[in-house]
Structure 1
């Protein structure tokens, strides 16, 4: 678990789950998840293999430079950054 203020703990690029597949990355909608204590978390993955393993083969994604996480924080404030977390199959995107 990494706070939004600690991006140095992450790789230079991360893969983030998105709501749907898009042709233009500017149209991507990043997925956020609520954790058990109701904090809003951004899930990030260290590689495409990790994202597919943890979220499923059908999960839409976007590869972004880690510094862009600060922009995401400005657009949609979140409280946690979770790295390489497995999403249970019943909660995975089937897009």
Structure 2
């Protein structure tokens, strides 16, 4: 089976001006673990942001995990994360619009954080 995640695209916004997708699919877990990372700002500081990923068909996707052990299994033990109530995913969308939400999707090894990158 092919992996739908192809590369990292953390801050781009291809959805500017487009209508918002359904924020949470039906039957979605009430809370999810969202991969995130620290990114430099223009002022010399940094900010925390969700790690959006491009799918093989070019869509920008938010990854979400229904349990911490699934995030670790699918993203590696060094992946930073934040626990989010599913109804709050719209806040991430407002700051970082995405076209899809992928639940419990495994990242290829080459896209995972290593110990040096995580702190």
| TM-score interval (norm. to shorter) | 0.7 to 0.9
Structure with a larger share of its residues in strand = 2
Q: Does 1:46 align with 2:73?
A: no
Shift of the alpha carbon at 1:9? 2.6
Name stretches of at least 5 consecutive residues in structure 2 with no aligned partner: 1-20, 39-46
Which residue in the other structure is 1:93 paired with? 113
Considering only aligned residues, what root-mean-square deviation do their CA atoms show, in Å? 1.3
Moved over 6 A (4+): none
By relative contact order (CA 8 Å, sep 6+), the higher-ranking structure is 1
Name stretches of at least 5 consecutive residues in structure 1 with no aligned partner: 21-26
C-alpha distance in 1 between matches for 2:52 and 2:111: 13
Which residue in the other structure is 1:36 paired with? 56
**Which has the larger Rg?**
2
Which residue in the other structure is 1:11 paired with? 29
Shift of the alpha carbon at 1:6? 5.5
Structure 1 length-normalised TM: 0.83
Counting matched residue pairs gives 86
Report matched runs for 1:54-73 at 5 Å: 54-73=74-93
Shift of the alpha carbon at 1:28? 2.6
Structure with a larger share of its residues in helix = 1
Structure 2 length-normalised TM: 0.67
